[in-house]
A and B are shown apart, each in its own frame.
Chain A
């Protein structure tokens, strides 16, 4: 693999007793869309801020293409950043905002004008060049902030929860646009968010942080299909956690036993092969049937209708409450409250977790 465009080694940052970053190691590949995902206080923003140069690390280093940039001020790092509140300069017009990075880089007036037009067209805001930022809507301001950050052709774009202030529909639209922009420009994106849907829909790779440490990293589907810890299983989508006993290995999967049934489960590295264990099972990977159809039997406790999907809470004597999610438009069993149903899943739909 080629050299990472940015790398962070053993990054530590504390605020008093609070460990914002706890020995974080991270490589960012050229051209990728990397998302730092985590709840508030997980250290994701601190990590981004340390990469950008706004936060000084207690220890650890940041490299850009092999050069140590740990002590460089933000303006010397050549990274572009889009802030949560957009931070468009209120005393400058849209065009002046977008041209600002070029002005400080002493581009000629003609070159600036040309590049500003190009960038505004890129985000479909060409006709707003002479407006003041305050006259624009949130979504428009977001586009301008993006154009401004991209105007000086940076290699890396840092985005700090750029969509969090927008309403849901607009957010979804801008997610598509951001993704398209990333593919078109080939710029490396480092995106910070606490929104799992955003992370799943846009990223090439997601890094999940908790308490200042990386919990797991991988492609969205990897993380979703094979979470390693209970935290990841629940933070990225919903999961049922099933207590089970591991009885040994069979080829590349483990055998688990729960409520009198034995079944194969997927297991990553570091999972104990015998003894008590915890399994993660996605609600949409559970099949519902009439009593006798599937191995486990329970009673429907509650149903929640969500339009395209329907969530069913099934009570099982041993496993406890199991959440099942099924499409509303299907030909199978239609559960009703207090109905007896059976449920089961395909081999390896379950994932054994590290923290039992």
Chain B
């Protein structure tokens, strides 16, 4: 049998996935772009409306604020966790890694509902606090930014931990030892020698969490209860409730562009290929 042309073989292998992507993803996205400049009237009307709208501005600012806080908290917690797993846990390492990965096997929807059970007005946390007499009236954990943040951090934590963990496990212990052997205290050795080497992992994890948080829908929608309107939910509202396809489409284009700009800027500091493709 004659050997198939190399190029042809390549395209044959790529084609099925490519076809699905074009048909179900790229084509609809292009349509969205189209809608944003054609509905209800042709032109940039939707965009001017978007830039003039106070509600949109508030929602975008809220989205960026929540994404930023989630990122910072995830990095702080995740760094400690990754540091512990890679430097101290020897026997417990597989178990700890398993616990980090476990949430990936439970749907985000279920995890978000679990938080509602915990944080609600008569949820487990409030009940426990009231029973022990620490508080007299329930604290509002839900349907505000606090609730959204708690649940977002929980959902995003593994995305922060994994890149940092990969990075840290590539750093041999001899660097810290060498620094201490040369006269640096444990803290000094960490600050001067270890921490700078973990920055690529921190940037990767941070970028991943931030970008995912920007477009996050389920968790903010459930925990925010309509009061914490992040941009994805705002878009859903425009389309589902007000049937305002034009503005909804324009907003999704704006979110896409904002995310692209962030990735582009970050790409100058972080190796994106490493962040998204080469995680073991």
Residues of B close to A54: CB separation below 8 A? 177, 180-181
Residues of B close to A148: CB separation below 8 A? 182
- CB of A73 within 8 Å of the partner chain: yes
Q: Out of B174, B181, B193, which one reaches A75, CB within 8 Å?
A: B181
Q: A83-B174, A100-B192, A104-B188 are in contact. Are A89 and B179 (CB under 8 A)?
A: yes
**Contact (Cβ within 8 A) A81 B179:** no
- CB of B185 within 8 Å of the partner chain: yes
**Contact (Cβ within 8 A) A89 B175:** yes
- CB of A152 within 8 Å of the partner chain: yes
- CB of B146 within 8 Å of the partner chain: no
**Contact (Cβ within 8 A) B172 A74:** no
Q: Out of A81, A90, A91, which one reaches B181, CB within 8 Å?
A: A81
Residues of A close to B133: CB separation below 8 A? none
**Contact (Cβ within 8 A) A87 B178:** yes
Question: With the chains together, A174 CA to B17 CA distance in Å?
Answer: 57
Residues of B close to A53: CB separation below 8 A? 181
- CB of B197 within 8 Å of the partner chain: yes
- Interface digits, A7-41 against B, CB 8 Å rule (1 contact, 0 not)? 00000000000000000000000000000000000
Summed over the interface, the residue pairs from A and B with CB atoms below 8 Å come to a total of: 65
Residues of B close to A104: CB separation below 8 A? 182-185, 188, 192
- CB of B2 within 8 Å of the partner chain: no
Min Cβ gap A221→B in Å is: 32
Question: With the chains together, A85 CA to B184 CA distance in Å?
Answer: 19
Residues of A close to B16: CB separation below 8 A? none
Question: With the chains together, A146 CA to B248 CA distance in Å?
Answer: 64
**Contact (Cβ within 8 A) B180 A74:** yes
**Contact (Cβ within 8 A) B183 A101:** yes
- CB of A105 within 8 Å of the partner chain: yes
Which residue in chain A gives the minimum CB-CB distance to B177?
Answer: A54
- CB of A79 within 8 Å of the partner chain: yes
Question: With the chains together, A82 CA to B182 CA distance in Å?
Answer: 9
**Contact (Cβ within 8 A) B192 A74:** no
Min Cβ gap A300→B in Å is: 50
**Contact (Cβ within 8 A) A75 B180:** yes
- Taking CB atoms and an 8 Å cut-off, the chain B residues in 113-158 that contact chain A are none
- CB of A192 within 8 Å of the partner chain: no
Min Cβ gap A340→B in Å is: 57
**Contact (Cβ within 8 A) A80 B181:** yes
Beyond A75-B182, A149-B182, 19 additional pairs, beta carbon < 8 A: A52-B181, A54-B181, A74-B180, A75-B181, A75-B186, A78-B183, A81-B177, A81-B178, A83-B177, A84-B174, A85-B174, A87-B175, A87-B177, A89-B178, A89-B193, A90-B197, A91-B193, A91-B196, A101-B182
Top 8 closest pairs, chain A to chain B, by CB: A87-B178, A81-B181, A91-B196, A101-B182, A87-B174, A74-B180, A104-B184, A104-B183
Q: Which A residues are within 8 Å of any B CB, using their own CB?
A: 52-54, 73-75, 78-81, 83-85, 87, 89-91, 100-101, 104-105, 148-149, 152, 158
A-B contact pairs, 6 of them (CB 8 A): A53-B181, A54-B180, A75-B181, A78-B183, A87-B178, A149-B182
